[in-house]
Chain A
Amino acid sequence: MTMKKRSESAETYELKTWRDFPPMNISMGTMLHNMTGSWRFIKPIYEDKVPACQNACPAGNDIEGWIKLVQKGEYDKAYWHLKREQPFPAILGRICFRFCEASCNRAHLDDFVGINELERFVGDRVELSTPHPDVPEYNGKKLAVIGSGPAGMSAAYYGRLLGFRVTMFEMLPEMGGILRVGIPAYRLPREVVAEEFKGLKNMGIELMPNTSVGKDITLNELRDDYDYIFLATGVHESAKLDLKGEDESDLIMSGLGMLKKVALGEDVDLGKRVAVIGGGNTAIDAARTSVRLGSKVIVIYRRSETEMPAHPAEVEEAREEGVEFRFLAAPENIEINNDGNIERLVCCKMELGPPDESGRRRPVKKEGALFEVETDSILTAIGEIPAFDYLKGIVKTENRVVEVNEGMQVKTADEGGAKIFAGGDIIDMPHTVVHAVAAGKKASIVMDCDRKGTDFSEVFKKIAIGDGRALSFSKYMGWAPVNPVSQNNEKVVDSEKIVYDYFIKASQVDKKVVNADARRGSFDAYGKTFDEDQAQKEAARCMHCGRCTECDNCLIFCPDVSVLVRGEGQFGYAIDYDYCKGCGICFTECPRNAITMIAEEISIQVDDLQ
């Protein structure tokens, strides 16, 4: 601190006899010589913490940080700041499962902050093809990324930022994996994905579409050519219903397969009525895509709505578009007639039993409670399974997943060649895009640790965010945070630490979603990106949990005039520990818990007291 110490200007006088006092009752100076700081046994320090949203994000997105930059109108900076922890704002800003919003502390006041919409706004402000400004020189190591879905994209992006020479292999003619052929265009426009890949290419990442590992090139060949391999081939086949007649008709198809066909522009004829089996995001995507193809859709799910893995907002929108839901029901029998058409789909009513290993209540058949559903085609979306043929003899797979260690590394049958890592839907973790992005980030950090010969588990301890679910790439790179104050990456600020008295209610900015009738007939993206005004309004709702905003509360409330503004363009405040009595008012009145009280080191010896 460059500020002049106030205690240095303290005046004291020798006052031994009455003559030393002033001739009349006037004071001779201030009490600055009375350093009340010695009374203190706990002291306040300014310390930024982890907001609940960032803690909930599997990728550890520094949401508060970039929202602060949005509020300042520094959109470019916000974009690059966002991309530090989550490289694809324009994509995730549209389709993320938004764990952040579900844990937003603002929900205890009025409603969560529309983080996803803001992320989309930030992503759309900048040309996605702009390469990262600080792409480093190659570090001499080569990384092959197999699969170009979100996990692969993330591994390639971070790998390149760490200096690897990266090649991405994709078996389809279009890059993007599930983002391109799984998620329908009305949710994620094709151009956005294509532009992101331009950005990756401009960073110096080599893209190899139409290259199937296992057919065009073998994994062992890649192992010889590269130093590191990241497997991110995802899941592209639907699990079977295990019913008689399932394979007898072309009108019973996998939801994912149908989505892929539509995405690649192939003809799909589903007939007038479609039954979708399943309750996950694929089921909803398949249902809403079928609506757009002109069919009437019913979704059949074996549990109740509360257990549905699909995002509630998606379910709501599907309903608006006319999708019907039949909960607590499962297909029992499919009868195919001689023309290959579906004669009838027989379902059985279910009821919920005790919870299973996933924590959700297990559906149990109600014996004899059968009913029929009239349908022309059936789409199955009861879970996806990966294809692991290309791994045979090299990597062991079990229960449809590739086993990885804490550092995302895969055990191989033999030593030698590239070290293999895996991420995304092929490993045992939740199947969301943001989890895949997190996996890619984690794997590239471990590869870099391996290259440098450092122990990744030690590194993880230093760069873990909050509960340790996510890793901070910024911290790994030593990039400065938005607030130039000390950061505590362990402490999470949940709603109990927020002083809600200091916030006024303000409802979410209306997203102005296109009405359901207009949505039904079109694959165009619905809902517009926020304009600047809307974004500013929504950003202003952020409570900046755990991060100083220079709101002046500590300065105003200090009874001992011991909080000082740093001034001279410096951020934040300084505490004058010469006088701070450690009352803790600044700590309790900080609206957002950006101050921490710590125990004072007691240095008094017993001898001093005698």
Chain B
Amino acid sequence: MQKTFDIPRELMTGEDLAQPGMLSCQGCGASLAMKLALKGLGERTVIAVPACCWTIIIGVYPYSTLKVPVVHVLFETAAVSASGIRAGLDMRGEEDVVVMAWAGDGGTFDIGIQSLSGVAERNDDILYVCYDNEAYMNTGIQRSGATPMGAWTTTTPSGAVKQEKKKDIEKIMLAHEIPYVATASVAYPDDMIKKFKKARTIKGTKFIHLLSPCPPGWRIDPAMSIKITRMATQAKVFPIYEVENGKYKINVYPEKKIPLKEYFKTQGRFRQMSEDLVKAAQERADRSWESLIRMDGEA
């Protein structure tokens, strides 16, 4: 028996709001993420894109691979620009249009966090999506607050791989008590599309944290990008869950559970990870998974 994705054929064969010709690398998780996100959101969508890979992927002005309006904004302003667009649309009475801020991990975890925090504090009605490839990939793989412990980047080079742990962005966002916080992964597309559909219906600030593989930055074969992303969830280092009005729900209980070490082994960026760091990472992943299970179903 096959576990086919619960995605209607018509949705996949319907109009593609993301068109080919994208300037993304082979096996890009971000391209796929946008394609799937727009399948969930539909054409009544406006996107605010700060400096990130998607600034490039979208194409060269005046062309755009996306068939929805996209506003390119400054690096630190994704959330607040989206709020502005929201206000403008509200004044025009176009309340059915969803405004999505689509930022990378650098623009979310580091550079854009104050404006994001402001928007969340005001609970402005936007959908903020962080497609997380765990470093500043577009500018050439620099370390970010989302880069996991033990990873190589050009600013945490050989012999000095990152020693600090990844920021827990979900907890930061949950501290703002916004109505919807979720994680999603391109390796679980049905879950991901459902979350975008759901986010469209919720009023207030929605935050979706997407794990999106980057073959050049992760030092992996493009063909393996989905498989490795799926392994992140199977190894419980990127659990897939959602928190709706404070209520936790784990969406994917991986059938096959693998040790984190297996996940690290698949990627060149973790090649210099010491045994101690692997152990520490495993303990941290186990701890957060257990606490997640404890909170599962709780309000």
A residues near B (Cβ < 8 Å) are 6, 10, 13, 15, 21-22, 25-36, 39, 499-506, 540-541, 543, 549, 551-553, 555-562, 565, 567, 576, 578-579, 581-585, 587-589, 591, 597
B40 to chain A, nearest CB (A): 13
Whether A31 and B59, one on each chain, are in contact in the complex, defined by CB atoms closer than 8 angstroms, is yes
B71 to chain A, nearest CB (A): 8
How many A-B residue pairs lie within 8 Å, measured between CB atoms?
150
B residues near A (Cβ < 8 Å) are 1-5, 7, 9, 12-13, 16, 18-24, 26-29, 31-32, 35-36, 58-65, 67, 69-70, 189, 215, 221-227, 230, 234, 255-256
| Complex-state Cα separation, A30 to B21, whole angstroms | 8
| Complex-state Cα separation, A245 to B3, whole angstroms | 64
Closest chain B residue, CB of each to CB of A582: B26
The contact of A588 among B36, B67, B226, by CB within 8 Å, is: B226
Whether B61 and A27, one on each chain, are in contact in the complex, defined by CB atoms closer than 8 angstroms, is yes
Given A556-B12, A581-B26: A561 touches B1 (CB 8 Å cut-off) = no
Closest chain B residue, CB of each to CB of A32: B21
Pairs of residues from A and B, 8 with the lowest C-beta to C-beta distance, nearest first:
A584-B223, A31-B21, A579-B20, A583-B27, A27-B64, A31-B59, A583-B26, A34-B21
Question: Chain A interface mostly helix, strand, loop or mixed?
Answer: loop
Whether A557 and B189, one on each chain, are in contact in the complex, defined by CB atoms closer than 8 angstroms, is yes
Whether A585 and B63, one on each chain, are in contact in the complex, defined by CB atoms closer than 8 angstroms, is no
Whether B227 and A589, one on each chain, are in contact in the complex, defined by CB atoms closer than 8 angstroms, is yes
Given A31-B59, A555-B12, A559-B32: A36 touches B20 (CB 8 Å cut-off) = yes
Closest chain B residue, CB of each to CB of A560: B20
Whether B65 and A30, one on each chain, are in contact in the complex, defined by CB atoms closer than 8 angstroms, is yes
For residue A34, which residues in chain B have a CB less than 8 angstroms away from its CB? 21-23, 59
Known: A29-B62, A31-B64, A549-B2. 18 other contacts (CB 8 A): A26-B69, A27-B70, A29-B64, A30-B64, A31-B19, A31-B22, A31-B59, A36-B22, A501-B234, A504-B1, A552-B12, A556-B36, A559-B35, A560-B31, A583-B222, A584-B27, A585-B222, A589-B227
| Complex-state Cα separation, A34 to B60, whole angstroms | 10
Given A562-B20, A585-B226: A557 touches B2 (CB 8 Å cut-off) = no
Whether B223 and A587, one on each chain, are in contact in the complex, defined by CB atoms closer than 8 angstroms, is yes
Whether A552 and B7, one on each chain, are in contact in the complex, defined by CB atoms closer than 8 angstroms, is yes
For residue A578, which residues in chain B have a CB less than 8 angstroms away from its CB? 20
The contact of B26 among A6, A22, A39, by CB within 8 Å, is: A39
Closest chain B residue, CB of each to CB of A40: B26
Whether A27 and B2, one on each chain, are in contact in the complex, defined by CB atoms closer than 8 angstroms, is no
A58 to chain B, nearest CB (A): 29
For residue B255, which residues in chain A have a CB less than 8 angstroms away from its CB? 501, 504-505
For residue B69, which residues in chain A have a CB less than 8 angstroms away from its CB? 26
A28 to chain B, nearest CB (A): 4
Whether A506 and B1, one on each chain, are in contact in the complex, defined by CB atoms closer than 8 angstroms, is yes
For residue B63, which residues in chain A have a CB less than 8 angstroms away from its CB? 27-31, 33
Whether A553 and B20, one on each chain, are in contact in the complex, defined by CB atoms closer than 8 angstroms, is no
A24 to chain B, nearest CB (A): 10
Whether A556 and B5, one on each chain, are in contact in the complex, defined by CB atoms closer than 8 angstroms, is yes
| Complex-state Cα separation, A28 to B230, whole angstroms | 37
Whether B224 and A588, one on each chain, are in contact in the complex, defined by CB atoms closer than 8 angstroms, is yes
B221 to chain A, nearest CB (A): 7
A559 to chain B, nearest CB (A): 4
For residue B60, which residues in chain A have a CB less than 8 angstroms away from its CB? 31
| Complex-state Cα separation, A559 to B58, whole angstroms | 13
For residue B256, which residues in chain A have a CB less than 8 angstroms away from its CB? 500-501
Given A503-B2, A584-B222: A31 touches B23 (CB 8 Å cut-off) = yes
Whether B23 and A551, one on each chain, are in contact in the complex, defined by CB atoms closer than 8 angstroms, is no
Whether B61 and A559, one on each chain, are in contact in the complex, defined by CB atoms closer than 8 angstroms, is no
Whether A585 and B61, one on each chain, are in contact in the complex, defined by CB atoms closer than 8 angstroms, is no
For residue B29, which residues in chain A have a CB less than 8 angstroms away from its CB? 559
Pick the most buried of A26, A27, A503, A543: most chain B CB atoms within 10 A of its CB.
Answer: A27
| Complex-state Cα separation, A565 to B69, whole angstroms | 27
| Complex-state Cα separation, A558 to B189, whole angstroms | 11
| Complex-state Cα separation, A34 to B189, whole angstroms | 26
| Complex-state Cα separation, A555 to B8, whole angstroms | 12
| Complex-state Cα separation, A255 to B266, whole angstroms | 58
For residue B19, which residues in chain A have a CB less than 8 angstroms away from its CB? 6, 30-32, 561
Closest chain A residue, CB of each to CB of B29: A559
Closest chain B residue, CB of each to CB of A41: B26
B223 to chain A, nearest CB (A): 3
Closest chain B residue, CB of each to CB of A597: B223
A504 to chain B, nearest CB (A): 5
| Complex-state Cα separation, A29 to B69, whole angstroms | 12
Closest chain B residue, CB of each to CB of A579: B20
| Complex-state Cα separation, A300 to B22, whole angstroms | 72
5 contacts between A and B (CB under 8 A): A504-B3, A555-B13, A560-B24, A578-B20, A585-B223
Whether A591 and B2, one on each chain, are in contact in the complex, defined by CB atoms closer than 8 angstroms, is yes
For residue A502, which residues in chain B have a CB less than 8 angstroms away from its CB? 2-4
| Complex-state Cα separation, A185 to B59, whole angstroms | 73
The contact of A560 among B9, B13, B22, B224, by CB within 8 Å, is: B22
